Structure 1
Amino acid sequence: MTHDLITPCADGLVGGTVGAADVARLGTVLGVWAHPDDEAYLSGALLAALAAVDRPAVCVTATRGEAADPDAGARARAALAAVRTRELEDALAILGVSDHHWLDLPDGGCAEVDAAGPVARIRAVLDQVQPDTVLTFGPDGVTGHPDHRAVSRWVDLALDQAGGDVRLLHPVETPATAQRDRELDEDFGVYELGRPRIVTPEEVVVHLVPDDALLDRKVAALHAQASQTSGLIDAVGIERFRRWVSVEVFAAPAR
């Protein structure tokens, strides 16, 4: 089975949408992420596309995102964790994901956690789900966040232990998509800790430019996580925000 869901164009841009047959070739998909909203930002349109063709998708979230405000005390963090838990449940329902697992690890502290515990739990989900495709951060963590990078390491270790033929895909950029809205990236410090890997068009496995219906669902899932997204949406406007999140690109790990 080929791993190329779309034949990349020479300039790295693919117009239109991924067809149902293309999405179905991903098989059962497991996404492993660090915080609520990672799944929607990085793969929301793809998850919605999978749901539209009745392909199973499962998500794992390592933390409940309680440390989004680094100055918050214990009570405020607990309250935010509860909010983000409800928000993620709503977002996953919008995207058509009904199978979700929490690892309940400390937000902002994943890099300090003994890897054996989360690796064993991810391995258990792998054994249960038997995915054909796993989506997670590359070693760069997309934004360089230490929690993201820790999750990437855990998934690698869990897959090594599990063995088998599983397609692993990381969110990446092409030279073209990396220029999509650099001003927004810089104004809001999106990549102040690091940037995602930039790949050639030939390395791209999935390059999804969603149609309006899929993009509506992705944006709705992000809007549902208002504690994290409403400030940005209000600041830049919904149309600019839609354009900013309107492409999803995945590639196999760098060799």
Structure 2
Amino acid sequence: MTRRFTLVAFHAHPDDESLLTGGTLARVAAEGHRVVLVVATLGEAGGADGDDKLGARRQAELRRAAEALGCARVAVLGYRDSGLHGDAPSASGRPPRFVDVPVEQAAAGLIAILRAEQAHVLTSYDAHGGYGHPDHRHLHHVACYAAAAAAIPVLLEATVDRGRLALALRLMRLAGPMLPRLPLNRTSDAYSSVSETTHLIDVGAFWRQKRIALRAHESQAEGGSRLRTVALLGRLPGPLFRLVAGREWFIEVGRPPAVHRIGDVFATLR
């Protein structure tokens, strides 16, 4: 009898789950495992045009994306988006910004979910917080604390091969000024070197689910003078989307990197 596992994916804002781990979540769910999605904030600072109802809109988008990926449960911790540079306002009477909440306090809700779900695997972000968003960096520390407190067997940090990202950015910039520019000061400071990664998950067979999930985040494809990343990826034709988004990288905490990347998020447990 095939053993079934529970994977909890922890993300900072709606759409992060689709961009970084969408294919993995879809694959894990299709293989019969339980997928639980936990999001720290509703990304209220993620609008280009100042929509005061953006949080509610993004929550609805999150649930549509989660359904496309096969998630069995979605939980929002309810903190406020801290903003790309940590400069989002923190008005009185509102929930605190995620970066302002001490790690132990911010982890409490996640720990409760991990224990209730009897989770086997937790995914978070690498130590760089991906491209360096303050909420992503804070989430890295919160996840490390929660995984230890809840005795989670496997902690996987979602990342991107820095070398492939740098090449993709160069190609995008050559393609024209209307393509999106990710908020990276230097790609050398973003995500991870491929030599640091332990897992490379082939999600090419699940490109449709991943693209549907990305397209669910309509608010992140609107506004501003430039085409935004979610919009660009969502518009790619199937074969090109599969080429660009058909792999997802992780670092398993405590496992030494190897020449050959692991292709199964549950390999340590099997």
Q: TM-score, normalised by structure 2?
A: 0.74
Q: Does structure 2 conserve the Cα–Cα contact (< 8 Å) formed by 1:222 and 1:229?
A: no
Q: How does 1:66-215 map to 2 (within 5 A)?
A: 66-69=44-47, 72=50, 76-77=51-52, 79-108=53-82, 109-162=97-150, 164-174=151-161, 177-179=164-166, 181-183=168-170, 188-192=180-184, 194-200=189-195, 204-211=197-204, 213-215=205-207
Indicate yes or no: 2:6 matched with 1:32.
no
The runs of 5 or more residues in structure 1 that have no matched partner are 1-23
Match of 2:41 in 1: 63
* Pairwise CA distance, 1:29: 0.6
Amino acid at match of 1:154: V
Q: How large is the RMSD of aligned CA atoms in angstroms?
A: 2.7
Q: Would the alpha carbon gap of residues 184 and 242 (structure 1) be closer, same or farther in structure 2, given more than 3 Å must change?
A: farther
8 Å CA contact 1:143–1:192 kept in 2: the answer is: yes
User: Is the 1:185–1:191 Cα contact (8 Å) retained in structure 2?
Assistant: no
- Is 1:222 the counterpart of 2:222 in the alignment? no
RCO higher in structure (CA 8 A, sep ≥6): 1
Shift of 1:157: 1.2
Distance 1:207 1:25 in 2: 22
Q: 1:105 to 1:214 in 2, by over 3 A?
A: same
Identity value in percent: 28
Q: CA deviation at 1:46?
A: 0.8
For the 8 Å contact 2:207–2:241, the answer to whether it is kept is no
Partner of 2:251: 251
Structure 2 spans left out of the alignment, 5+ residues: 83-96, 174-178, 257-270
Normalising by structure 1, report the TM-score. Answer: 0.78
**d(CA) in 2 for partners of 1:148 and 1:42?**
12
Question: In structure 2, do the counterparts of structure 1 residues 234 and 105 end up closer, same or farther at CA, with 3 Å as the change threshold?
Answer: closer
The 1:63–1:234 alpha-carbon spacing in structure 2 relative to 1, beyond 3 Å, is: closer
Describe the SS at the equivalent of 1:215.
helix
Tell me, yes or no, if the aligned pair for 2:104 and 2:145 is still in contact at 8 Å.
Answer: no
Match of 1:46 in 2: 24
Aligned mates of 1:229, 1:110 — CA distance in 2 = 24
Deviation of 1:89 (Å): 0.6
Q: Is the contact made by 1:180 and 1:244 (CA closer than 8 Å) also made in structure 2?
A: no
CA distance in 2 between counterparts of 1:157 and 1:42 reads: 21
How many equivalent pairs are there? 225
Q: Which residue identity does 1:49 align to in structure 2?
A: R
Q: What is the distance in 1 between the residues matched to 2:203 and 2:134? A: 29
Give 3-state SS (helix, strand or coil) of 1:103's partner: strand
2: CA distance, partners of 1:130 / 1:54:
16
1: distance between equivalents of 2:59 and 2:16?
Answer: 13
| Equivalent residue, structure 2, for 1:12 | none
Native 8 Å contact 1:26 1:133 kept in 2: no
